[in-house]
Amino acid sequence: MRKGIVMEHRHTYTIVMDKDGTFHKAMPVKHVDIGNEIPFEIYRAERRGYIFLLRKVWQIPGRLIVLVCALLLFVLPIYFALANNKTLAYLSIDIKRSFELEVDNKFHVQSIRYLNEDAEQVGMKLSQYRDRKMETVIEKIMEQSEKSGLVGEKKDMLIGVSYPNKYHGENRLLRNLNAFSRKRDDSWRITAFHVPHYVRKSAEKAGKPTNEKLAEMINRAEPSQNSTSALNLNDEQKAIIHSFYFEKNRLSEEK
């Protein structure tokens, strides 16, 4: 191995002078004073640069990469879980009592609101409804309502569907509800329809079930954005909703 006298220390290499008086870049040597003779190895810039780069990547950016990866592993599952469970629609259900189902984009129920005491009685008998298909939960509500004696002779059910965000698959959700209604061979009459989200917000502000607020708007039939034309209901749906609440009020007065 060559020998030379240390002339200068640089950050990435050491300058040495051999016995012939020639200066060389040598691999860095630490803790050696200038003027001392040392054995040295010629500095190879490419090799040194590569090693230096790897060392720097590991020391600083490498740690950052590890931290970012750890955060992604923690955050991404939460993000996708929230994305999958994002509220798609609210189903306002009336069977002489009122429920509101929060449904995600898989048409699974995430929560239920009970809007009166009778609904709470039924709700107490519902269990493990979260993440179950909306049709299954609706069926359970119907069964428990019958068992609790909270259903009259006319087993009418209104299901108003309201979307808090723009959704391009509205017909698919309503088709599912209509198919659910048709396949039931019983005395229930189920009517599903779309309710604009502003109607739901108005009902929420007034402390009323969404479908009841909708019925009030139908009865008023004011020439405004809340008119029946803006509600996009057909004549049959308007008649059923009107009849449902008219009969409900009439029976309450008779009692």
Task: Give pLDDT tens digits for 94-150.
Answer: 987 889 999 998 999 999 888 877 777 777 777 778 889 999 999 988 888 888 777
> Residue 91 CB: number of other CB atoms within 10 A?
24
Q: What is the mean pLDDT of residues 55-84?
A: 57
Spatial contact of 18 and 24, defined as CB atoms under 8 Å apart = yes
Tell how strand 87-94 and strand 98-104 pair up: antiparallel
Q: Does position 188 have pLDDT exceeding 70, yes or no?
A: yes
The residue behind tokens 């359970």 is: 140
Tell how strand 156-162 and strand 189-194 pair up: parallel
Spatial contact of 16 and 7, defined as CB atoms under 8 Å apart = yes
Residues paired with 23 in a beta bridge:
17
Q: What is the mean pLDDT of residues 38-42?
A: 86
Q: What angle do CA 211, 217, 221 make, to 5 degrees?
A: 145
pLDDT for the residue 211? 92
pLDDT for the residue 130? 85
Spatial contact of 231 and 196, defined as CB atoms under 8 Å apart = yes
Give 3-state DSSP helix, strand, coil % of the chain, rounded to 5.
45, 20, 30
pTM, full prediction: 0.62
Q: What is the mean pLDDT of residues 8-26?
A: 84
> Residue 151 CB: number of other CB atoms within 10 A?
19
Q: Does position 156 have pLDDT exceeding 60, yes or no?
A: yes
Q: Residue 214 carries which DSSP code?
A: H
Which phi-psi region, left, alpha or beta, contains residue 103 (left: φ > 0; alpha: ψ -120 to 50)? beta
* Closest alpha carbon to 98 in 240, 199, 203: 203
Q: Does position 161 have pLDDT exceeding 90, yes or no?
A: yes
Spatial contact of 102 and 110, defined as CB atoms under 8 Å apart = yes
Amino acid at 114: Y
Tokens of 20: 């012939």
Q: What angle do CA 211, 216, 221 make, to 5 degrees?
A: 120
pLDDT category, 223, cuts 50, 70, 90? very low
Collapsing DSSP states into helix, strand and coil, what is residue 154?
coil
Cα end-to-end distance, the chain, whole Å:
111
pLDDT category, 33, cuts 50, 70, 90? confident
